[in-house]
Amino acid sequence: MLLRLIYSLGILALITIVTALVLSVLPVNSGFAQTQQNEHIEINITSNGIHTDLVLPVKTPYIDWRNKIALQHFAGADSSFTHISFGWGDREFYMETPEWSDLTLEVALSAMFWPSPSAMHVEYIRRPLTPNKHQRPIRITPEQYQKLVTYIYSSFQSRDGNFLLIPGKGYSSTDNFYEAREKFYFPKNCNNWVNGGLKAAGLKAAFFAPFPYAVMRHYR
């Protein structure tokens, strides 16, 4: 009986992974081309091999993120920092695994299969990113940028217009965590969140993107 259960779970896991891989190849907004207009905003998507983030300029004519993500919450950041990174993910996973060596099986399984509270990870970045296979720039129009900003805004929990800081949980003096909306689980994970932002802004994306390569492959 136990062997049959293990076998059935293995088959289910295999089917899930194969389905995810197939769906991640299907493109959305395939007609998107990076804008050549003089008036544009350059954003970045980044990957550490497991997790992807959106990196935006701190200040543009359309938004100054310091008005929403107060610098005084970041002891190591100041007004000279040029960019800000946004990631969405499982709250417990974020809090319990500052390093991959801290990851436990219990936390990993819970994050993958059990809908759980989420958090926004925000980091101020000192200077523009250097393009490479882990950091890919995208030139977009002001209209596309404002749609992306709206998407990011909608992922934060807020009270009286202010995002809700989770005190004392940042990894360093330049990053912090904030309360987020929606539950985290495999079909709605960190990479699908970034992919959803690209979709919302009308940028090229995957139909389904549980894995980083599904996000990054469109911007080689």
Mean pLDDT, rounded, of the chain: 86
DSSP secondary structure of 69-112: S-GGG-TT--TT--EEEEEEEEHHHHHH-SSGGG--HHHHHHHH
CA 64 to the chain's CA centroid: 20
192 Ramachandran zone, left/alpha/beta (phi>0; psi -120 to 50)? alpha
Q: What average pLDDT does the segment 127-149 reach?
A: 97
- Joined tokens for residue 138: 């995208």
Residue 72's pLDDT is 94
- What are residue 199's phi and psi, to 5 degrees? -60, -50
Distance of CA 87 to the CA centre of its chain: 3
Q: CA 180 to CA 119: how far, in whole Å?
A: 5
pLDDT digits over 66-94, tens only?
A: 999 999 999 999 999 999 999 999 888 77
Q: pTM here?
A: 0.87
SS3 165: strand
Per-residue pLDDT tens digits for 189-207: 999 999 999 999 999 999 9
